[in-house]
Structure 1
Amino acid sequence: MRSATGFVGFLLLIASSSCNEFVMHEGQMVESVYGTEGQVSWLECEVDVEENNLTVIWARDNQTLDTSTSRIRVQGAMLWFLSAEKGDSGMYTCRESLQSPVASQVFLSVSSKPCPQPSLFETVQQGTNMTLLCRQDEISQIALVNHIRWLKDCKPIDSITLVNIMPGDAGNYTCVISLTYEGRSYLASQSTWLEVKNDPPLQTPKVTYPKEDTIYIFPDQPANLTCIASLGYDEEIVTETISYWTVNNSFIDNYPELKKNTHSTIEIRDGMYYSASILSITVVQQEFFHVPFRCKFDNPVGTAHKDLWLKPIRTRVFQSCLIILAAPILAIIAVVCFSRCC
């Protein structure tokens, strides 16, 4: 699901929340991590070591890994290489104990290139803004972070804020962290590939029907209430928009006889997506008059609603109106008949 904040100021998170790179290994898709020779690299095991008080067991290419060296260490659920070597490349697995099933599989690839291949991928909308944020919380667990700099396509950039993103801003962004551990200085790098797309921007829903706020109906009769909202031109927003009704500021769940009679439909007109929300009332009871029926449309960009008020058509008033409206017509008919007769 895309968030509304993504169109105000998109954050490029060099973290696990990003879309990770995967490789095929023995018929399975496995997460891949790319490192640079001579720099710090780390892998993470998907276990809760704090809750279970565990010491994670790591293996490389199905052989238990020796983590007693000063260069390769285990810190919580993390496996650290201080610093990584080309020979460290391989398939790594972790588990809670020798008898436990494998909890995570990660493929580590270490190269001599100054900027590693992207392990993460981000997609942003053209014309939006973005701030680059570097992953450093995990490094802070064992080291002191001194300085952070950024590279685009392995060339230094001055600003970490991208304004009015255009296709030329796409590329490989590398975060380089300068850190100190046990009195020694290290570097750690991780790259993210940024893709720029030019989809129609997501829009806030807008109620287009009905225009009127008041609906006149006969008491104790059925009624259908319909609201239609425009959603925009992006198909993705359709699955991210929900519609619902409230009655007198209460969710419709409090009215079982109404809840089961709601449904919505989607249609396209001239490329624009519309959502129609329909509430069918089997019998309009007195409690439904003079209270707001609110149809509401929500998506990550915004919300829109329309309040509808039901007012009764009184039988006597209705009859009186018919008589008043019919009187002039009857008079005209009488005059015409009289003229013909004469």
Structure 2
Amino acid sequence: MTSILPRRHRGTRLLCLLLLVSPSLLLLSCGGGASQLSVSVRALSGSSIKGGKSPSYAVDVVNQGPGEVSGVGVRVDLPADFRYQSTNSIEIDRGVRTEATDPEVRSPAPQWALWTLSAPATTADGSVHRSVVRITFTALAAGKPGDYNVVAHAGSETGSSDVSSTPLAVHLSPASSLSSVVVAIQNSAHPGDTVTYRVTVLNDGTGPASGVNVLLSLASPLAFSRTASLQGNFSRTGSGDPTAGSLLVYYSGFTIPARGDGGPGRLAIVFDARVATGASSGRYTLTGQLTDSDGEVVAIDNAAPITVLGPTPPPSPSTAAGGAGGSPPPATPGY
């Protein structure tokens, strides 16, 4: 097993082991009688999670005594494709952190160090108060659906060996992973023209995306005209389609399958919108979002730009009066 302690602290444990031949030297040089750590890990977000979610876990490291223990480090082995994201909190009861070593983001085996934990103390009512370090953290769940374990380890400079927790069973459920691309087939249009849009929704996850809804908001010079086609390997319940003349383009009730041997699940929507006859020239985009029954939201921001080429302005009165040359004809002199 990979050592939990930072490299520059590993020699201290060897020194303490050599001093075990003399209990008195152990007491003077290693901070008291040999102490035994215990470590446990529990899920704060349930034991069944979906890929792409961020479950949280709590690790408790306890000094069982009889003496003080120093140089305490912690490591958690996550399932193969899980990655550490952030530390939510670190609580210390009857101990002190002597060095702040924290995990790197996206680590598969996050490590924290170092603490000194006081020896257990007996209270007035006869109960034993033990020193504890509690770490809560968040990870990103990913990988193939199945059953996995999360295992925590603890070690110290003064202990003879690392200790491990009872494996925490984790079930990774199939999960969807949606993305979208929205494009305008034409780059430009005139007032009164028809613009064609294509919306492609992909599911690159390990499970189907159900209850998928597509909502788009057109810029005010454009209005929905008609649905040209729906393509892909999706299925559909119901037929929530947009209303002609509306600025809102809303399709609902799709189920898009998970990625298979042929690639991701796919839904492609092609629809037309008409540019208003009085539209001003300018650049126009659309916004919107994808949603599904699991609460996933994929934002669509400033997509599918088109340029509306407004009508040519009428000539000014002075230009019209002056003919092609733009100047009035010279006056004929009188005799």
- TM-score for both structures, normalised by structure 2: 0.33
Asked which structure has the greater CA Rg, the reply is 2
- Bigger helix fraction: 1
